[in-house]
Structure 1
Amino acid sequence: MTAEALSKVIIQGMEEKKAHNIVLMDLRGVKNAFTDFFVICSGNSDTQLEAIAESIEEFVYKSNREKPAVSEGKSNRQWILIDYVNVVAHVFLKDKRDYYGLEELWGDATITRIEKSFS
């Protein structure tokens, strides 16, 4: 599965659990980037973050039989990182997302904001 296709599956997993402010960051043109894409979203509670992370892993496994290389942050549920090598998903509580500012930190990336497709 290409990194672009994997990103779309991750976004579907996020949308399934009503993640907010989903952003796709294309890092392929960024010097020293260690992955092709970041997919970032926010949730309203630690419970929702856990549900979003589980949904991402479920969607990716069902579509590609792939498990993450690394998954971190599930115990504190403020910033969950799910690393599929070419695509890294970040699931944040809003205040933690603002604090770490990945969109600003990787400002050279091409950023696509994903409009909500759930009702």
Structure 2
Amino acid sequence: MTATEHALELVQIAARAASDKLAEKIVAYDVSDTLAITDAFVLASASNDRQVRAIVEEIEDQLREQVGEKPLRREGHQQGRWVLLDYADVVIHVQHAEERQFYALERLWRDCPEIKLPESIAPAAEVADRAADETPVAELAGSDDAE
């Protein structure tokens, strides 16, 4: 992995904050070799719009309190379906479960190394569930050319 130590620290803080607000399927990827604009992505989901907003607010609070970071950009907070927080070194996506399933960002970044999160944040059973849930993109689009 080539993500900076600072990026990895932000990932851990964001993932812990999301977990504290009961986010589901928290995962992080080192995208530094693929993208020049950021080092890591954090993905998390929630079952309703209010919880998405609560997770986002907790992530922002914790990153501000622990390392003095503020997002450079924040998108989607009003709708609460998919909120993107851009911290330059880390981009955080908090999605409603339906958006998470539909857009399947994990499929886009599955070739990138996954950043290991503590078992208390991403239990092994949840990681196994994510792998089992990987439906080929062609199936999502309704194509007959599924892998």
Q: Would you call these one fold, judging by a TM-score over 0.5?
A: yes
Contact 1:43 1:49 survives alignment (8 Å): yes
C-alpha distance in structure 2 between counterparts of 1:13 and 1:82, whole Å: 13
Asked if 1:35 is matched to 2:38, the reply is: yes
C-alpha distance in structure 2 between counterparts of 1:7 and 1:117, whole Å: 12
Q: Which has the larger radius of gyration?
A: 2
1:22–1:107 CA distance, 2 compared to 1 (3 A): same
Shift in Å, 1:102:
1.1
State the match for 2:84 in structure 1. 81
Q: How many correspondences in the alignment?
A: 117
Shift in Å, 1:112:
4.3
C-alpha distance in structure 2 between counterparts of 1:116 and 1:45, whole Å: 22
Shift in Å, 1:106:
2.0
After TM superposition, the structure 1 = structure 2 runs for residues 88-99 of structure 1, keeping only pairs within 5 Å, are 88-99=91-102
C-alpha distance in structure 2 between counterparts of 1:3 and 1:19, whole Å: 20
After TM superposition, the structure 1 = structure 2 runs for residues 41-56 of structure 1, keeping only pairs within 5 Å, are 41-56=44-59
1:20–1:112 CA distance, 2 compared to 1 (3 A): same
Q: For structure 1, list consecutive stretches of 5 or more residues without a partner in the other structure.
A: none
Where do 4+ consecutive residues of structure 1 move more than 3 Å? 112-118
Contact 2:45 2:96 survives alignment (8 Å): yes
Choose between structure 1 and 2: higher strand proportion: 1
State the match for 1:7 in structure 2. 11
Higher relative contact order (CA 8 A, sep 6+): 1
RMSD: 1.8
Contact 2:73 2:85 survives alignment (8 Å): yes
Please give the per-residue CA displacement for 1:61-83, whole angstroms capped at 9, x wherever unaligned: 00111110000100111000011
For 2:104, give the aligned amino acid: G
In the superposition, the TM-score normalised over structure 1's length comes to 0.90
In the superposition, the TM-score normalised over structure 2's length comes to 0.73
Percent identical: 35
State the match for 2:140 in structure 1. none
